[in-house]
Amino acid sequence: MAPLTGQTLLIGWLLLPYAAAFLAALLPPLARWLALVCCLATGAVAVAIQAGVLPASLSLLGPYGVELQPDGLAAPFLLLDALVCGAVVLDGWRRTLPGPFLLLLMVLHGGLASAFVAVDLVSLYVTLEVVGIAAFLLILASRSERTLWLSLRYLLIGNTVMTLYLVGAAVVYLTQGSFRLEAVAGAGAAALALLLVGLLTKAGLFLSGLWLPRTHAEAPAEVSALLSGVVVAAGVVPLLRLSSVVPALAAVLPLIGVASAGLGLLFALAEADAKRLLAWSTLSQMGLVVLAPAAGGLYALGHGLAKAALFLVARRFPGRDLAGWAGRPLAAGVWVPLWIGSLSIVGVPPLLGFFAKSGLDRALPGPMGLLLSLLTVGTAAVYARLWGAPLLAEAPASPAAAMTPPEPAWSPGVLLLLLALVLLGATEATRTWSPALLPAAAKAALVLAAGVGLHRLLQPLRRRPWFRLPDLEGFPDLVGGIGVVGAGLLVWIR
């Protein structure tokens, strides 16, 4: 019997989620355990990539076939995929999940893993379509009229932009004779613009991401955690890979990132709904992920873990209206994750978000670093709106509550994500410790204080009727935004 090679292990790992989903359809009682096995396998692959024990590239079906690159860029995204999907499985362990939720989760997990390592345009198209269809069906799982329209809108927008992406891939092949990402550099402005329209929309960036807030806010909590935590990263990884081989994109992507960060931040500061605030924040934070490819992976990991935890506890919010937020006490199982997750996104030590923010700060020169600090002050002001709720004192259980099985006070999935934020932060501290981190910690404290001050300055203004921003989330706005981005890319790149 031939020994297992790294190539065989990689192929088996990529096929595992689909085989597990098929087996789960035949044996539903095994679905939760099979989903956990898939997440553990992806986590192990991420660790193996970092340890350098797996091949850095894999070519299948000849020079025009599938090209995979399980490298250092893919590793943090694979770990994010494993932890967020695993947390969603654990969060719903004692609840009855709607329909074939776990089966779809395994398909989504497999599509994301493939998208993170694929480096040819056709494989990326297939995997992004798998992710899009699985996400559409997961949004649809609640079967309400509102999510029906939002899921159909998500599918229609996604299929439209991916058709444009496929046209761009065909142009690359006709002009360069290859589907590799490196071939995009010589294919011309039109091909690059078509590809970018698809990837920017999938990543939820700037005007191409206007579909994101309403979709993420209205989806079930566990689906919102998947969408904001890891699904948007499927479009980010190809953008980061392309920016390293296409000079034109390396020049324009930071501008799109800053515009996305500013747009999402502006709307989050004015938002009156807690879950929509989290969704707008995702659009903003994805803009920061693409500012510097070298720091993007760790930043996406820190943001995705924290945001998935925040959306999972959003299911237990006593209400979503931020107007009365300070008067609604939160149980410890909500209050503590809300603080830890949001502080990590703001970049407070010793959480993972602090080291991700510090790495991004080091990768950005001069004015861009200052701009990042200003955007982080705005982020702190956004999350300060959620810090006003007091901690709920333990109350005796009522006789009616004793008749039904109680929901655990702490979600095991949320605990997994919080533990990851703390342990990965400790790992980064051990790996990157230097005296330079002390000024970074002092800067984080100043940014946090400035953000709280900005929140208090804006709070009285939110009661004014004119303190509102226009609604940009109608279907015509989505289509128009994508068209504006596509036309702007074509003009800029030329």
Whether 235 has a pLDDT exceeding 60, the answer reads yes
Domain range for 455 is: 16-391+409-493
| Residue 60 confidence (pLDDT) | 81
Count CA atoms closer than 13 A to 361's CA, side-chain side.
20
The mean per-residue pLDDT over the stretch 117-127 comes to: 95
Give the closest residue to 364 by CA, choosing from 352, 382, 348, 376.
Answer: 376
- Mind giving me the DSSP string for 305-359? HHHHHHHHHHTT-S-SBGGGGGGS-B-HHHHHHHHHHHHHHHT-TTSHHHHHHHH
Three-state DSSP class for residue 60: strand
Judge whether 8 lies within some domain. no
- Band (pLDDT 50/70/90 cuts) for residue 55 is confident
Instruction: Band the pLDDT of 434: cuts 50, 70, 90.
Output: confident
Is the residue at 1 inside a domain?
no
Structure token digits, residue 472: 């940009």
Q: What is the DSSP string of 360-421?
A: HHHHS-HHHHHHHHHHHHHHHHHHHTTTTSPBPPP-PPPHHHHTSPPPPSS-HHHHHHHHHH
Categorize the per-residue pLDDT at 109 as very low, low, confident or very high, splitting at 50, 70 and 90. Answer: very high
Sole residue written with tokens 């939820």: 204
CA atoms within 13 A on the CB side of 407: 12
Residue 397 forms part of a structural domain:
no
Q: Is residue 192 included in any domain, yes or no? A: yes
Record the pTM: 0.95
Is 6 inside a domain boundary?
Answer: no
On whether the CB atoms of residues 447 and 376 are closer than 8 A, the answer is yes
Q: Is 156 helix (H, G, I), strand (E, B) or coil?
A: helix
Q: Is 399 within a domain?
A: no
Residue 292, C-beta contacts closer than 8 angstroms, at least 6 positions apart: 254, 360, 363, 364
| Domains of the chain: total | 1
Q: Is the pLDDT of residue 231 over 70?
A: yes
Q: pLDDT tens for residues 157-202? A: 999 999 999 999 999 999 999 999 999 998 889 999 999 999 999 9
pLDDT for position 1:
44
Strand, helix or coil at 178?
coil
CA–CA separation, 104 and 100 (whole Å): 6
Domain-embedded: residue 475: yes
Q: Is residue 401 part of a domain?
A: no
What are the b/e assignments for 440-467, b being 16+ CB within 10 Å? beebbeebbebbbebbeeeeeebeeeee
- Mean pLDDT score, 384-413: 71
User: What one-letter code names the amino acid at 451?
Assistant: G
For residue 475, give both structure tokens.
């279907």
CA distance 178 to 96: 47
